[in-house]
Amino acid sequence: QDRIKGCFRLPTVKDKNVYVIPMSGGLDSFCTAFVMLHLFPKSPFTFVHADTGVEAKGTEEYLDKFEVLTGRKIIKLRPKKDLFTQIESHGNFLPSQRARSCTQSMKTKPISTFYKALIQKLGPETVIYNFVGIRADEPSRTGIEWKEDNIASVFPLAELGIKKADVNAIVQNIIGIPDYYLNKSRSGCEVCIFSRRSEIISAWEKSPETLTRAANMEE
């Protein structure tokens, strides 16, 4: 509670408001989930994780740990083809920091499809609020610009004045910093395009088969 400096109210427009918190396995999404459950313990939040098939080792374990700790279920979207298979089937066109096709195909698209299925199930009057873990110290970051009128992103961490140090403290105190952060600065794929050289070396030591496959794709 002492980390919260601002004010946030759950948005409501129509009778059928659905609150969804995407769980990437990263600190910001864990923090968003914990803070929302703290402020609104009786609200029916939906938690969803889009798996790339090559997530950092330990991601699944920490998502399971979240479920046990909170008693809330995470809906896990499994791809028919993992990230590497998708890249191979598209002529080995590799993602880059400028062309983040991986995020679009493995995260944004599956969650968007999930939202559309929810709306189809619950009715066209449903409004889905996508809770994004953008912090108060990230003014230049923006969320997905949804084209649909009944899907919108909200940014509770930013509104509550929660910064990186707060996120680290909250997650550490509640569930502990995930083990994959010991050698990585971010969650996500084992071979994330934003990885530092040292992180790639560390990943190679832990998941040589994954890194070898990625190296062959590059070659």
Q: What is the pLDDT of residue 14?
A: 64
Question: How many residues comprise the chain?
Answer: 219
- The answer, yes or no, to whether residue 57 has pLDDT greater than 80, is yes
Q: What is the pLDDT of residue 102?
A: 85
Lowest mean pLDDT among 13-17, 26-30, 155-159: 13-17
Q: What is the pLDDT of residue 193?
A: 86
- Residue 189, classed as helix, strand or coil, is strand
State the sign of the Cα–Cα–Cα–Cα dihedral 91, 205, 51, 96.
negative
Closest CA to 166 of 23, 2, 6: 2
What is the signed CA dihedral for 51, 52, 55, 58, rounded to 10 degrees?
20
How does residue 88 score in pLDDT terms, banded at 50, 70 and 90?
Answer: confident
Q: What is the pLDDT of residue 185?
A: 80
Are the CB atoms for 152 and 130 separated by under 8 Å? yes
- Between the ranges 54-63, 164-173, 197-206, where is the mean pLDDT highest? 164-173
Tell me: the pLDDT tens digits for 171-215? 999 999 998 888 778 778 888 888 899 988 988 888 899 999 989
Query: Measured between alpha carbons, how far is 11 from 17 in angstroms, rounded to an integer?
Result: 8
Query: Measured between alpha carbons, how far is 181 from 60 in angstroms, rounded to an integer?
Result: 14
pTM of the model: 0.91
- The answer, yes or no, to whether residue 13 has pLDDT greater than 80, is no
Q: Which tokens go with 182?
A: 């010991």
- The mean pLDDT value for 112-117 works out to 94
Q: What is the pLDDT of residue 67?
A: 98
How does residue 32 score in pLDDT terms, banded at 50, 70 and 90?
Answer: very high
- The answer, yes or no, to whether residue 83 has pLDDT greater than 80, is yes
DSSP 36-99: HHHH-TTS--EEEEE--SSBPTTHHHHHHHHHHHH--PEEEE--SS-HHHHHHHTTT----SS-
- Count of CB atoms situated within 10 Å of the CB of 41: 9
Are the CB atoms for 181 and 202 separated by under 8 Å? no
SS (H, E, C) 119-148: HHHHCCCCEEEEECCCCCCCCCCCCCCCCC
How does residue 17 score in pLDDT terms, banded at 50, 70 and 90?
Answer: very high
Give residue for tokens 């590059």.
218
- Count of CB atoms situated within 10 Å of the CB of 189: 25
